[in-house]
Structures are given as structure tokens and as C-alpha cells.
Amino acid sequence: KAGVTQTPRYLIKTRGQQVTLSCSPISGHRSVSWYQQTPGQGLQFLFEYFSETQRNKGNFPGRFSGRQFSNSRSEMNVSTLELGDSALYLCASSLGWNGEQFFGPGTRLTVL
């Protein structure tokens, strides 16, 4: 089985711009979660989608949004980028509720 894939792997943006990151889960996995990882804050939960519905949302501002498509692929969008949004964004898929998370390689976002 192919693993979780994320595109792009690296991204450089400037403040005020917006960005869309993509995640393709493992085939058959319907749950997709997004995390932000920074050296100081560790792994912070952004949101989780299951069958195109957002089931959970972490404590992030409304500039962070996401969606899931009928094929379980997911995208997350960050609008009006700030310097503090520079981070590794990880997507993880799982079979169900709180199951083993399979992480993708991440997208390294740098905001200048």
C-alpha cells in the first residue's frame, strides 16, 4: 500500500499571501488529521476530517481551514500568512476514530 503523500514538500511564501496544502491518505482510510509542528510548540492538532465532515478542530484562528473530498483526499488552507505560520505541516490518516495515525512526510512552509 502506498503511504500518505503530501504536496508540495516545501513552500516559501511571504506575509499576507495564502497557501493550500494537499494530502492523499492511505487507500481505505477515511479519517485525515492535520497537525502543525514547530520547535517550540511540538505537534499541535489543527483539524480532523472523516467522510468529508470536519469532526474536530484545534485551537487555531479562522485563517486555518480545511476540507476533505469524496475520495478522502484533503486540503488545508492558510490565508493571510503570518511569520509565525512557518512550520512543518503534517497530515495523518487512520482507519477510524483515534486509531493508529499514519503520517505523511509533511510540507515545510516558510513565511518570509
Partner 1 sequence: GQQVMQIPQYQHVQEGEDFTTYCNSSTTLSNIQWYKQRPGGHPVFLIQLVKSGEVKKQKRLTFQFGEAKKNSSLHITATQTTDVGTYFCAGPGSGNMLTFGGGTRLMVKP
> What minimum distance in Å lies between the beta carbon of 63 and partner 1?
20
Closest-CA residue to 91 (of 1, 12, 28, 7)? 7
- Which CB, 17 or 102, lies closer to partner 1? 102
> What minimum distance in Å lies between the beta carbon of 23 and partner 1?
12
Binding site for partner 1 (CB under 8 A): 33, 35, 42-43, 45, 48, 55-56, 58-59, 90, 92, 97-98, 100-106
> What minimum distance in Å lies between the beta carbon of 78 and partner 1?
19
The x, y and z cell numbers of residue 78, run together, are 492558510
DSSP assigned state of 26: P
| 32 bridge partner residues | 49, 93
- Which CB, 14 or 43, lies closer to partner 1? 43
Residue 18: CB atoms within 10 Å: 11
C-alpha 71/C-alpha 80 separation (Å) is: 28
- Which CB, 20 or 44, lies closer to partner 1? 44
Residue 32: CB atoms within 10 Å: 27
> What minimum distance in Å lies between the beta carbon of 51 and partner 1?
15
